[in-house]
Amino acid sequence: MQTIEVKAVKRDNLGKTATKELRKSGQVPGVLYGGKDVVHFQAEANEFRKLLFTPKVYIVKLNIEGTVYEAIIKDLQYHPVSDELIHIDFLQVFEDKPITIEVPVKLKGLAEGVKAGGKLTLEQRKLRVKGLMKNLPDDLEINISKLGLGKGIQVGSLSFPELELLNAKNSVVVAVKLTRAARAAAQQQKG
């Protein structure tokens, strides 16, 4: 899994007034959970841009005044009107403890159902997995070349080495749906 570094500064003043002042100056308050202590920090809003505006998932090397913590994003809060990031929470991760994270799905191949006139729909862009940090892939690759018309792939039929899938077993990840043209062509072949 790819890593990205974020530089931050410890925050001493906690509370509404101090937090409002931080946000006015272009800083984003944050909290790091999961370690021995809870760490409150602040960072420039631009520090998070590469992390937020991408479909990829990163392990974050959170550099707080020289101390580096490995973490994943736990929660984000955006302003309801301006859509600016106003708060971020991280969860510290360790090599020997399994973590739960959403990993993007990547489709491989051309489905047979698409060749026959169907429409491919990706129902879930990310799947929730649990595993050790060293076993987490950048994306979950699913081969769809044998997927026929009107067929789908469910979470229960997928497996990845060293990872546990946490989504509902019967939820559909990807499917080839019948289009009107494909349905009409099938009717003409029968008739």
Exposure on the CB side of residue 92, measured as CA atoms within 13 A: 17
Side chain identity, residue 78: Y
Residues 6+ apart with CB under 8 A from 183: none
Task: Tell me the whole-structure pTM to 2 decimals.
Answer: 0.77
Q: Tell me: the pLDDT tens digits for 119-159?
A: 999 999 999 999 998 888 889 999 999 988 889 999 999 98
Phi and psi angles of residue 187, each rounded to the nearest 5 degrees, phi first: -65, -40
What is the CATH T-level fold of the domain 3-92, as seen in this structure?
Ribosomal Protein L25; Chain P (2.40.240)
Instruction: State the DSSP H helix or E strand holding residue 17, giving kind and residue range, or none if neither.
Output: helix 16-24
pLDDT at residue 186 tops 70? no
Domain ranges for the chain: 3-92, 99-190
Q: Is 60:2 a contact under the CB 8 Å cutoff? A: no
Instruction: State the DSSP H helix or E strand holding residue 64, giving kind and residue range, or none if neither.
Output: strand 59-64
Q: Specify the CATH architecture of the domain 99-190.
A: Beta Complex (2.170)
